[in-house]
Amino acid sequence: NAGVTQTPKFQVLKTGQSMTLQCAQDMNHEYMSWYRQDPGMGLRLIHYSVGAGITDQGEVPNGYNVSRSTTEDFPLRLLSAAPSQTSVYFCASQSGGQGPYGYTFGSGTRLTVV
Amino acid sequence: GNSVTQMEGPVTLSEEAFLTINCTYTATGYPSLFWYVQYPGEGLQLLLKATKADDKGSNKGFEATYRKETTSFHLEKGSVQVSDSAVYFCALSDRDTGRRALTFGSGTRLQVQP
Protein backbone atom coordinates (compact mmCIF):
# COMPACT_ATOMS: atom_id res chain seq x y z
CA ASN A 1 0.00 0.00 0.00
CA ALA A 2 1.20 3.51 -0.80
CA GLY A 3 2.13 5.62 2.16
CA VAL A 4 4.88 6.46 4.60
CA THR A 5 6.92 3.57 5.97
CA GLN A 6 8.96 3.91 9.15
CA THR A 7 11.46 1.41 10.52
CA PRO A 8 12.04 0.14 13.09
CA LYS A 9 8.78 0.20 15.02
CA PHE A 10 10.52 -0.21 18.37
CA GLN A 11 14.12 0.41 19.48
CA VAL A 12 16.00 0.45 22.76
CA LEU A 13 19.33 2.26 22.86
CA LYS A 14 21.95 2.80 25.49
CA THR A 15 23.01 6.35 26.31
CA GLY A 16 25.68 7.48 23.87
CA GLN A 17 24.79 5.05 21.10
CA SER A 18 23.90 6.31 17.64
CA MET A 19 21.24 5.08 15.28
CA THR A 20 19.20 6.02 12.24
CA LEU A 21 15.43 6.02 12.03
CA GLN A 22 14.32 5.27 8.52
CA CYS A 23 11.45 6.93 6.67
CA ALA A 24 10.40 6.22 3.09
CA GLN A 25 7.42 7.34 1.02
CA ASP A 26 6.30 6.15 -2.39
CA MET A 27 3.93 8.99 -3.25
CA ASN A 28 6.55 11.27 -4.85
CA HIS A 29 5.87 13.87 -2.16
CA GLU A 30 8.21 16.84 -2.08
CA TYR A 31 7.79 17.79 1.56
CA MET A 32 8.86 15.47 4.39
CA SER A 33 9.19 16.09 8.10
CA TRP A 34 10.03 14.45 11.41
CA TYR A 35 8.07 14.98 14.62
CA ARG A 36 8.49 13.67 18.11
CA GLN A 37 5.54 12.94 20.37
CA ASP A 38 5.87 13.27 24.11
CA PRO A 39 3.15 12.87 26.74
CA GLY A 40 1.19 16.08 27.26
CA MET A 41 3.13 17.97 24.58
CA GLY A 42 1.57 16.98 21.30
CA LEU A 43 3.90 16.61 18.34
CA ARG A 44 6.91 18.87 17.86
CA LEU A 45 8.77 19.40 14.61
CA ILE A 46 12.39 18.23 14.59
CA HIS A 47 13.54 18.71 10.99
CA TYR A 48 11.89 19.08 7.63
CA SER A 49 12.75 19.00 3.94
CA VAL A 50 11.06 20.77 1.03
CA GLY A 51 12.80 18.60 -1.57
CA ALA A 52 15.83 16.44 -2.32
CA GLY A 53 19.00 18.12 -1.12
CA ILE A 54 17.16 20.70 1.01
CA THR A 55 16.67 20.38 4.77
CA ASP A 56 16.05 22.76 7.62
CA GLN A 57 15.57 22.78 11.37
CA GLY A 58 12.27 22.70 13.13
CA GLU A 59 11.35 23.45 16.70
CA VAL A 60 13.53 20.86 18.51
CA PRO A 61 16.51 19.97 16.26
CA ASN A 62 19.28 19.52 18.82
CA GLY A 63 20.80 16.03 18.90
CA TYR A 64 19.37 15.06 15.50
CA ASN A 65 20.67 15.17 11.94
CA VAL A 66 18.85 14.62 8.65
CA SER A 67 19.68 14.37 4.98
CA ARG A 68 17.55 14.10 1.85
CA SER A 69 19.51 12.50 -0.98
CA THR A 70 16.39 11.19 -2.75
CA THR A 71 12.75 12.24 -2.90
CA GLU A 72 11.69 8.96 -1.32
CA ASP A 73 13.90 8.77 1.77
CA PHE A 74 14.33 11.05 4.78
CA PRO A 75 16.35 9.34 7.55
CA LEU A 76 16.70 10.81 11.03
CA ARG A 77 20.02 10.25 12.80
CA LEU A 78 20.58 10.33 16.52
CA LEU A 79 24.25 11.15 16.98
CA SER A 80 24.66 10.26 20.68
CA ALA A 81 21.44 9.10 22.26
CA ALA A 82 20.29 10.64 25.54
CA PRO A 83 17.41 9.64 27.84
CA SER A 84 15.68 12.92 26.90
CA GLN A 85 15.29 11.52 23.39
CA THR A 86 13.02 8.76 24.62
CA SER A 87 9.90 9.44 22.58
CA VAL A 88 7.70 8.30 19.74
CA TYR A 89 8.91 9.59 16.39
CA PHE A 90 6.66 10.22 13.41
CA CYS A 91 7.61 10.90 9.84
CA ALA A 92 5.17 12.74 7.58
CA SER A 93 5.06 13.68 3.92
CA GLN A 94 3.05 16.03 1.75
CA SER A 95 2.80 16.75 -1.95
CA GLY A 96 4.00 20.18 -2.94
CA GLY A 97 0.94 20.57 -5.10
CA GLN A 98 -1.57 20.05 -2.31
CA GLY A 99 -2.81 22.56 0.20
CA PRO A 100 -1.44 22.51 3.72
CA TYR A 101 -3.67 19.61 4.64
CA GLY A 102 -2.45 16.63 2.68
CA TYR A 103 -0.09 15.26 5.32
CA THR A 104 0.41 11.49 5.46
CA PHE A 105 1.94 10.13 8.66
CA GLY A 106 3.89 6.95 9.23
CA SER A 107 2.93 4.59 12.04
CA GLY A 108 5.78 5.75 14.26
CA THR A 109 8.97 4.51 15.91
CA ARG A 110 8.92 4.10 19.67
CA LEU A 111 12.44 4.79 20.98
CA THR A 112 13.64 4.19 24.52
CA VAL A 113 17.06 5.39 25.63
CA VAL A 114 18.35 3.81 28.84
CA GLY B 1 4.79 32.36 17.36
CA ASN B 2 2.01 29.89 16.73
CA SER B 3 0.39 27.79 19.43
CA VAL B 4 -2.61 25.53 19.93
CA THR B 5 -4.36 24.90 23.23
CA GLN B 6 -6.67 21.94 23.76
CA MET B 7 -8.75 20.87 26.72
CA GLU B 8 -7.00 18.31 28.86
CA GLY B 9 -8.28 14.78 28.99
CA PRO B 10 -9.14 12.14 29.37
CA VAL B 11 -12.71 12.76 28.33
CA THR B 12 -14.90 9.82 29.31
CA LEU B 13 -18.36 9.51 27.76
CA SER B 14 -21.05 6.91 27.45
CA GLU B 15 -21.99 5.66 24.01
CA GLU B 16 -24.37 8.01 22.16
CA ALA B 17 -23.37 11.01 24.28
CA PHE B 18 -22.56 14.42 22.77
CA LEU B 19 -18.89 15.27 22.39
CA THR B 20 -17.13 18.63 22.47
CA ILE B 21 -13.36 19.02 22.54
CA ASN B 22 -12.28 22.64 22.81
CA CYS B 23 -9.42 24.04 20.76
CA THR B 24 -8.13 27.60 20.61
CA TYR B 25 -5.15 28.93 18.73
CA THR B 26 -2.79 31.84 18.30
CA ALA B 27 -1.13 32.46 14.97
CA THR B 28 0.96 35.18 13.39
CA GLY B 29 -0.69 34.75 10.02
CA TYR B 30 -3.96 33.33 8.68
CA PRO B 31 -3.74 29.63 9.46
CA SER B 32 -5.46 26.55 8.16
CA LEU B 33 -6.91 24.42 10.97
CA PHE B 34 -7.10 20.65 11.36
CA TRP B 35 -8.21 17.86 13.60
CA TYR B 36 -6.17 14.67 13.56
CA VAL B 37 -7.06 11.38 15.25
CA GLN B 38 -4.66 8.77 16.57
CA TYR B 39 -5.94 5.28 17.32
CA PRO B 40 -3.89 3.09 19.67
CA GLY B 41 -0.61 1.97 18.16
CA GLU B 42 -1.14 3.92 14.95
CA GLY B 43 0.01 7.14 13.34
CA LEU B 44 -2.08 10.27 12.95
CA GLN B 45 -4.93 10.45 10.46
CA LEU B 46 -6.52 13.63 9.18
CA LEU B 47 -10.08 13.82 10.50
CA LEU B 48 -11.21 17.17 9.11
CA LYS B 49 -9.93 20.56 8.07
CA ALA B 50 -10.93 24.18 7.48
CA THR B 51 -8.93 26.73 5.54
CA LYS B 52 -10.78 30.01 6.07
CA ALA B 53 -13.03 31.78 8.54
CA ASP B 54 -16.54 30.32 8.98
CA ASP B 55 -15.61 27.15 7.08
CA LYS B 56 -17.03 24.00 8.62
CA GLY B 57 -15.01 20.82 8.32
CA SER B 58 -16.85 17.53 8.71
CA ASN B 59 -16.10 13.82 8.50
CA LYS B 60 -17.48 10.61 10.05
CA GLY B 61 -20.08 12.60 12.03
CA PHE B 62 -17.46 14.98 13.49
CA GLU B 63 -17.68 18.71 12.81
CA ALA B 64 -15.63 21.80 13.59
CA THR B 65 -16.14 25.43 12.54
CA TYR B 66 -13.30 27.90 11.97
CA ARG B 67 -14.12 30.86 14.24
CA LYS B 68 -11.67 33.66 13.52
CA GLU B 69 -13.27 36.10 15.96
CA THR B 70 -12.77 33.71 18.91
CA THR B 71 -9.69 31.96 17.44
CA SER B 72 -11.32 28.61 18.05
CA PHE B 73 -11.92 25.33 16.23
CA HIS B 74 -13.92 23.13 18.61
CA LEU B 75 -14.57 19.51 17.66
CA GLU B 76 -18.12 18.16 18.06
CA LYS B 77 -19.99 14.94 17.47
CA GLY B 78 -23.63 14.36 18.22
CA SER B 79 -23.46 10.70 19.21
CA VAL B 80 -20.15 9.02 19.98
CA GLN B 81 -19.43 5.33 19.57
CA VAL B 82 -16.97 3.03 21.33
CA SER B 83 -14.95 2.99 18.10
CA ASP B 84 -14.35 6.75 18.48
CA SER B 85 -12.07 6.10 21.45
CA ALA B 86 -8.75 7.64 20.45
CA VAL B 87 -6.52 10.68 20.96
CA TYR B 88 -7.60 13.81 19.10
CA PHE B 89 -5.15 16.54 18.12
CA CYS B 90 -5.98 20.06 17.01
CA ALA B 91 -3.36 21.58 14.71
CA LEU B 92 -2.69 24.60 12.54
CA SER B 93 -0.57 25.29 9.51
CA ASP B 94 0.60 28.83 8.87
CA ARG B 95 0.32 29.45 5.16
CA ASP B 96 2.40 32.59 5.38
CA THR B 97 5.58 30.59 5.93
CA GLY B 98 7.27 28.27 3.52
CA ARG B 99 7.75 25.58 6.12
CA ARG B 100 4.36 23.87 5.77
CA ALA B 101 4.90 22.68 9.33
CA LEU B 102 2.02 21.76 11.58
CA THR B 103 1.74 23.15 15.11
CA PHE B 104 -0.10 20.68 17.35
CA GLY B 105 -2.03 20.89 20.55
CA SER B 106 -1.18 18.46 23.33
CA GLY B 107 -3.94 16.04 22.41
CA THR B 108 -7.15 14.98 24.15
CA ARG B 109 -7.82 11.34 24.92
CA LEU B 110 -11.43 10.27 24.42
CA GLN B 111 -12.73 7.12 26.10
CA VAL B 112 -16.21 5.97 25.13
CA GLN B 113 -17.81 3.36 27.36
CA PRO B 114 -20.55 0.96 26.15
pLDDT tens for residues B60-75? Answer: 999 999 999 999 999 9
In the chain, the amino acid numbered B113 is Q
Per the prediction, chain B carries an average pLDDT of 91
SS3 at position B83: helix
The verdict on a CB contact (< 8 Å) between A101 and B34 is yes
Q: Does B44 touch chain A (CB under 8 A)?
A: yes
Sign of the torsion formed by the C-alpha atoms of A6, B36, B107 and B100: positive
DSSP A43: E
Angle at B56 between CA B55 and CA B58, to 5 degrees: 145
- Identify all chain B residues contacting A43, using CB atoms and an 8 Å cutoff: 44, 89, 102, 104
Is the distance from CB of A82 to CB of A62 less than 8 angstroms? Answer: no
The verdict on a CB contact (< 8 Å) between A107 and B32 is no
pLDDT tens for residues B89-107? Answer: 999 987 656 566 788 999 9
Q: Is the pLDDT of residue B87 over 90?
A: yes
- Identify all chain B residues contacting A92, using CB atoms and an 8 Å cutoff: 44, 102
pLDDT tens for residues A24-41? Answer: 999 998 889 999 999 877
Min Cα separation A15/chain B (Å): 25
- Identify all chain A residues contacting B25, using CB atoms and an 8 Å cutoff: none
Q: Is the pLDDT of residue A73 over 70?
A: yes
Among A59, A88, A98, A101, which would you mutate to test the B interface (most chain B Cβ atoms within 10 Å of its Cβ)?
A101
Q: Is the pLDDT of residue A11 over 90?
A: yes
Q: How much is the average pLDDT of B2-31?
A: 93
Distance from C-alpha of B50 to C-alpha of A46, rounded to nearest angstrom: 25
Percent of chain A at pLDDT > 90 equals 76
